Amino acid sequence: MAETALVLGAGGLTGVGWEIGVLHGLAEAGVDLSDADLVVGSSAGSVVGAQLTSGKLTLPELYERQLADPAGEIPGQLGAGLVLKYARAVLGSRTPEAYGRKLGALAVAADAGDEAARREVIARRLVSHSWPERRLLVTAVDAGTGELRAFDAASGVPVVDAVAASCAVPGVWPAVTIEGRKWIDGGIHSCANVHLASGYARVVILAPQPAGGGPLPSPRRQAERLEAEGARVTLITPDAAARRAFGRRTLDPTRRAPAARAGLAQAGACVESVGRVWRG
């Protein structure tokens, strides 16, 4: 069995901030997850995963970036009408793929801005535009088939494009064109895509969005499946203070810094459980 895997789930800009805050706090307490053999990133987690594995900045530096003025970011919003469309799609789907097709059709039909301009936003977030030497999986969903794909260094797809696709929230941001096909948010298949860490002995999951729904398994349910396979797993989800810091505007750049501080504050309560798993 392979060794360590870090799974970073979806959760908007607040999810990016919170995950980096948690990772920074854990490292300060002596449990550094940045040396994971595998990093799986979905949506917000893809941004964090690409930054973390780049080797360009330390965790303290990545944390300070979350506190800086979010210049260049474009605010997004999941309005009530769009949330209702999501809810109807998930309740009317029997599989994650069926849900992905419905939201793929929504994304392709939506007037969600310029794809090239959105790519530039993602490019500015990333500290490197090259795939890392360590194994990084960036998830996205095919808008036509609803199927999940995990892009990596062997895919031949630029990491900026892969992360842009993974962050393409349907109806908010434009679907991303890769290899002649349209791709949307990797968190549409599941909030964290924990199953991609199958086969690893020790797995830590950071899931800003802990719930499942309809055909979409929750991160906890997926974690239990890994444990049934023999892995040692711990799952971290936002505590009450972090949820307050997120508020309802998870795509608002101004909420990123409060979310990062909340993640840093929460990390102390997670050190023991994460250390037991990570240190073997």
Model pLDDT for residues 46-72, shown as the tens digit of each residue: 999 999 999 999 999 999 999 999 888
pLDDT at residue 158, rounded to an integer: 97
Q: Where are the beta strands (DSSP E) in the chain?
A: 2-8, 38-42, 135-142, 148-151, 176-178, 181-185, 200-206, 232-236
What local confidence, expressed as pLDDT, does residue 212 receive?
83
Residue 279 binned pLDDT confidence (cut-offs 50, 70, 90):
confident
Contact between 53 and 62 under an 8 Å Cβ cutoff? The reply is no
Give the per-residue pLDDT at 79: 86
Span 118-133, pLDDT tens digits: 999 999 999 999 999 9
Q: Please report the pLDDT score of residue 193 as a whole number.
A: 98
**pLDDT given at position 76:** 87
Stronger pLDDT, 134 or 197, i.e. the higher one? 197
Residues 51, 256: Cα–Cα separation, whole Å: 16
The predicted-structure confidence for 68-111, as pLDDT tens digits, reads as follows 998 888 888 888 899 899 999 988 999 999 999 999 999 999 98
Q: Are 200 and 37 a contacting pair, CB within 8 Å?
A: yes
Task: Output the pLDDT for position 71.
Answer: 83
Q: How many CA atoms lie within 13 A of 174 on its CB side?
A: 18
| Helix locations, 2-79, DSSP H | 12-28, 44-53, 59-67
How large a percentage of the chain has pLDDT more than 70? Answer: 100
Whether this model's pTM surpasses 0.75 = yes
Q: At what angle do helices 256-267 and 12-28 cross, to 10 degrees?
A: 30
CA distance linking residue 39 with residue 16, whole number of Å: 15
Residues with a known catalytic role: 43, 185
The neighbour count for residue 97, using CB atoms within 10 Å, is 18
The reported pLDDT for the residue numbered 113 is 87
**Which pLDDT score is estimated for 72?**
81
Structure-derived torsion over alpha carbons of residues 6, 208, 239, 273, reported in degrees to the nearest 10: -10
